[in-house]
Amino acid sequence: MPRDPYDPNLFAGRVQDLRRIDQWLQNPGDRRLRSITGSPGSGKTWLLEQVRNQYAAAPGCLVLWTDAPSLANPASPSDAIDRLVRTAAETCGFDPRPLLDPNLALERRMEELGRRVCAHGSMRIPFLIIDGMDELRSQRERERVEDLLLAFLSGGPCARALIARRDEQALSRFGLRLIEVIHPLGGFDHREAQDQATKRFIHRHGLRSPPNFMQPLQNQIPEYDGSHPSMNAFLADWMARSSRTLSADDLEACLRDAAGGSLPDQVLNLLRVLCCRDEWTLTDLSDSGIHLDDPGMMELFQLGILVEAPPRYRVAEGFRGITRAWRRLRGDPC
């Protein structure tokens, strides 16, 4: 099942996160870069989309949106920057042509864009949002995007930037780390999970009297607390379509969906072992015959399912509970 595109009718929760972002946007101090961090499916992109939707029409903001893969792709960064320049020029009223010069270095164009939006933005707050940092597959791609982001913020001393990345994908550019504030994205509580499911029942499935979501979920899979938005979306859609109880196959499909559809059997079997402890040390892993440089472990790190907090390692929230329930329904409880 493909990951759902953002839909403002289905957005739920995150009231405190939105409030914190607004407070930061109004007064960032010297921390003009905000990084939303979390595991895959935790709602980072939807939160960025909601912020974009909320401030796009606000008279006091200039929202510029792009995605990291476009900036990192050697064939497309100029096109992505052109779109940012045209949007800013239309709103702020400056001549975009000097910044559209293909002979101008990309970092120089972003630096000049930052300078122009601060010089011409009047009372508007320039606000760059970059989604998809966790879709970048190499360190070189991440560094390319970081260089462009740093150029924009260096050129525009009044500018802010909001990005989303996984917990373990720390920024490599020292200049960005100096001005970064990290915003960990926590899980949903029961009320937020029920609100999310109710909206899906009503808007997607046309159910005027949506069923209670959390109670039957807790009855069937008590190992899972409803904290993971992507898994909630999968389970709510499943509940709206089916009257039967959840099976091991359903939960396996849920795990694969939350991982973006990419969860090879070898990696799933490794997750089956790792889910049974809240935390692992290197000694624990070694005693179980697991090594950090195993291909399956590297894949779990890359997917953001295995989170590193040296000297300990843990399976991300949501994934641990669903995997434990999957094991139990297979007749192989932890």
Give per-residue pLDDT as tens, 29-66.
999 999 999 888 889 999 999 999 999 888 888 999 99
Instruction: Enter the tokens of residue 269.
Output: 């079997």
H or E element: which one contains 161?
Answer: strand 160-165
CB atoms within 10 A of CB 24: 17
| Residue at token pair 């969906």 | 257
Q: Distance between CA 315 and CA 307 in Å, rounded?
A: 6
Q: Distance between CA 136 and CA 147 in Å, rounded?
A: 14
Nearest in space to 21 (alpha carbons), one of 122, 163, 123: 163
SS (H, E, C) 187-202: CCCHHHHHHHHHHHHH
Give residue 51's identity as a one-letter amino acid code: V
The pLDDT of residue 242:
80
pTM: 0.87
Q: Are 239 and 307 in contact (CB under 8 A)?
A: no
Of 26-35, 128-137, 173-182, 309-318, which range is least confident?
309-318
Calculate the average pLDDT of the chain: 90
Give per-residue pLDDT as tens, 138-169.
899 999 999 999 999 999 899 999 999 987 78
Q: Distance between CA 255 and CA 268 in Å, rounded?
A: 9
Q: For 14, how many CA atoms within 13 A lie in the half-sphere containing its CB?
A: 24
Mean pLDDT of 107-132: 90
Report percent pLDDT > 90 for the chain.
Answer: 57
Give residue 295's identity as a one-letter amino acid code: P
Return the top range by mean pLDDT from 47-51, 189-193, 311-315. 47-51
Q: In this structure, is the dihedral angle defined by the CA atoms of residues 74, 78, 80 and 84, taken in order, positive or negative? A: positive
**310 conformational bin, left if phi > 0, alpha if psi -120 to 50, beta if neither:** beta
Rg from Cα positions in the chain: 22
Better-scored residue on pLDDT, 211 or 134: 134
Report the length, in residues, of the chain.
334
Q: What are the angstrom distances between the C-alpha of 298 and each of 157, 247, 272, 288?
A: 38, 29, 15, 17
